[in-house]
A and B are shown apart, each in its own frame.
Chain A
Amino acid sequence: MKAGVILKVAGKLLFARWKQTLIAAIGVTFSITMFIALLSFMVGLNELLDNMILNRIPHIRLYNEVMPSQHQPITLSKVHQRRYNFIRSVKSVASRQYIYNSIAIQNALQVDDRIKGIAPKISAQVFFHDGPIDITGVVEGIDIEKEQNLFHFREYIISGEPENLNTVGNSIILGKSLADKLQVSTGDVVRVTTASGTHFVMKLVGIFQSGLQDIDKIQSYTSLATARKILNKPNDYITDLQLQIKNIDDAAILSKEFSERFGTKTDDIKTSNAQFETGSFIRSLISYSVGITLLIVAGFGIYNILNMLIYEKMDTIAILKAIGFSGTNIKSIFLIIGLSIGLFGGSLGLLFGFLFSSLIDLIPFHTASLPTITTYPVSYNPIFYVIAISFSLITTYLAGWAPSRKASKVDPVLIIRGK
């Protein structure tokens, strides 16, 4: 009953100056709209860039590196074990550049339910020949099927059929810049020399463009079988095992676990791409600070309208007090007015924010490096809307606080006397 009266009085006062009230509300609407549009766009961009990396880089990579053994014979000797031993110029043995026991490791990983998928890979250094010129490059033997499942390989193919890797013998897919440099197109022949000096003639069955120049300039793909043939290696030869895991946040922990369990070196995406997250973080930070700045400006708008309203409605406040409204009641009335402006303006802002970000989503955006993207990226995460409306309510509450307090302190005697 009492709450009803307070709402009713608040409503009447709100509509008494509806034009000014509307302008204050539009200020909130504008800032919430911009907040949502900005955040949706920035986060959309973040997700796009994330996917660019996440789709291409395995969450965890198992591999072996050429490096000197940790355990030199002297450390195994009982006599010298407890002493400090210094050995200079330790040399590595060049035999360990592949993963031992790769079949067994793959079988073990296959049944691990934290893992989404596994793709084996063979990496080899080669030279491509363009007349008398040699171009250094990398050829990677892949399982085209698994590569497609884990890294959406097909999305980057701009000409040719990647499946031909399996059916056409000695076939290869080149990066766009590399193919341009060699002046070849699909169906042409590419000459390759391995690190050990063997020459191969390979057939170009496709060209890919990853969007990362550094990769497109040197990278090429072939099937696992062809890669083994080029390198003259046995049937279980693999240099890398690429893993996609279900929860990317576990990457570092799993990486460590697998390293110990399988005795290989491991890389994980969190550690090797830490700077990437920093970029995302900065972009979000900018969006939030711009949004909040806009809201603070809108807050001052509300503060002004409430102050003006209170100044104009001194008489009304005095009467309300004279007929039995307490200071607390008066305060509630003006807080409700402020919050209503925030809620109304904020809700409209949510709507316009959504419309605005949908609009951004329609604007064409073509870039050579991202063949699958045709419009600006936008994220429609509902959390932005929750944050936006909470912020608008908090800001209007704070903006309404001081004026409401002032209203509650109005001395009716002074007002009535002043008439």
Chain B
Amino acid sequence: MNEVVLEARHISKSFHDPVTLPILKDISFTIKKGEFVSITGKSGCGKSTLLYILSTMDTDYDGELFIEQENMKGKTENQLAYVRNAKIGFVFQFHYLIHEFTVIENVMLPGLKLGAHSEEEVRQRAIDQLRALDIHMLANKKANLISGGEKQRVAIARALINSPSIVLCDEPTGNLDKANSEVVFKIFKHLTRERQQTILVVTHDQEFAANTHRIIEMEDGKIVQK
């Protein structure tokens, strides 16, 4: 339980457009296995920016990022793609699904990409995942034909397909109504409790944050309270 899954060491970032403006200032924290952590803060304080860095998609920052004790600095684009595929799961505010694919194909895609299991196994895992989120009856629907709440659950299933070390979410409930937000929250809670899944959520929803294990409060690009 004390294994460190993610560690940020003195991460800083500035945007230079139009003038150089520091957005993140010396951010350091660690997240241990099985933790359910939320990041909150005012709009524009740099939460999303931080999350993109943690996700390895943004490599333009100072400081160091460790995922499972591995330094992400200096890795090639291909190596980072592998890390995202195998170790990180993503859930965005705007449930990004690939519309050409069916629900099950969307969920299977990272699994097929990883190639650790046969297509049949990946399909089985995807079905299990969908069933756990209670949306298995949507499996063969086109991804653009389901509701927002359903899409968000599909996105969660997709994030979990490769059993990632950590799931990163940027306002996963920001676009959902109260009922659906609660469903998503329960899913996260369940995942952390039953499967020791590590989850980091950026959220505006104070109630949501209050129910997580730990809140990281940000202000003007700095952590003010852990």
Contact = CB atoms under 8 A, between A and B. Distances in A.
B57 interface: yes
Given A322-B96, A323-B158, A326-B81, A413 B57 contact: yes
A16 interface: yes
A324 B52 contact: no
Interface residues of B, number: 31
Contacts of A316: 98-100
A324 to B, nearest CB: 2
A328 B96 contact: no
Interface in A316-361: 316, 318-329
A47 B158 CA distance: 64
A230 to B, nearest CB: 88
B78 A322 contact: no
Nearest to B52: A413
Contacts of A315: 96
A12 B100 contact: yes
Contact of B114 (A318, A324, A419): A324
Interface stretch (A1-9, A22-30, A213-221): A1-9
Contacts of B99: 316
Nearest to A12: B100
Most B CB contacts (10 A, CB to CB) among A2, A320, A413 go to A413
Given A319-B96, A413-B52, A324 B112 contact: no
Q: Is the interface of B mostly helix, strand, loop or mixed?
A: helix
Tell me the interface secondary structure of chain A in the complex: helix
Interface stretch (B20-28, B83-91, B202-210): B83-91
Given A324-B113, A416-B92, A319 B84 contact: no
For chain A, give the interface size range.
Answer: 20 to 34
Contacts of B48: 417
Contact of B90 (A12, A16, A322, A326): A322
B94 interface: yes
A12 B83 CA distance: 25
Contacts of A9: 109
Given A2-B113, A324-B81, A319 B97 contact: yes
B43 to A, nearest CB: 14
Contact of A324 (B93, B94, B101, B110): B110
Nearest to A2: B115
A369 to B, nearest CB: 62
Nearest to B96: A319
Nearest to B79: A326
B112 A16 contact: no
B29 interface: no
B84 A324 contact: yes
A5 B112 contact: yes
A322 B84 contact: yes
B125 to A, nearest CB: 15
Nearest to A13: B100
Contact of B85 (A8, A15, A324): A324
A260 to B, nearest CB: 69
A416 B202 CA distance: 15
Contacts of B40: none
Nearest to B99: A316
A413 B58 contact: yes
Contact of B96 (A2, A413, A416): A416
Contacts of B114: 324
A412 interface: yes
A308 B78 CA distance: 26
Contacts of A323: 84-85, 90, 109-110, 113, 158
Contacts of B58: 413
B128 interface: no
Contacts of A324: 81-86, 110, 113-114
A305 to B, nearest CB: 16
A319 B81 CA distance: 12
Contacts of A326: 77-78, 81-82
Interface string B42-59: 000000100010010110
29 contacts: A1-B112, A1-B115, A4-B119, A5-B109, A5-B112, A9-B109, A316-B98, A316-B99, A319-B96, A320-B98, A320-B109, A321-B84, A322-B55, A322-B57, A322-B84, A323-B113, A323-B158, A324-B84, A324-B86, A325-B81, A325-B85, A326-B77, A326-B78, A327-B78, A328-B78, A329-B81, A412-B57, A416-B92, A416-B96
Given A5-B112, A417-B52, A419-B92, 15 more contacts: A4-B119, A12-B98, A12-B101, A13-B100, A316-B99, A322-B84, A322-B90, A324-B82, A324-B86, A324-B113, A326-B78, A413-B57, A416-B92, A417-B48, A419-B96
**3 pairs of A and B residues whose beta carbons are closest in the complex:** A324-B85, A326-B81, A1-B115
Interface of B: 48, 52, 55, 57-58, 77-78, 81-86, 90, 92-94, 96-101, 109-110, 112-115, 119, 158
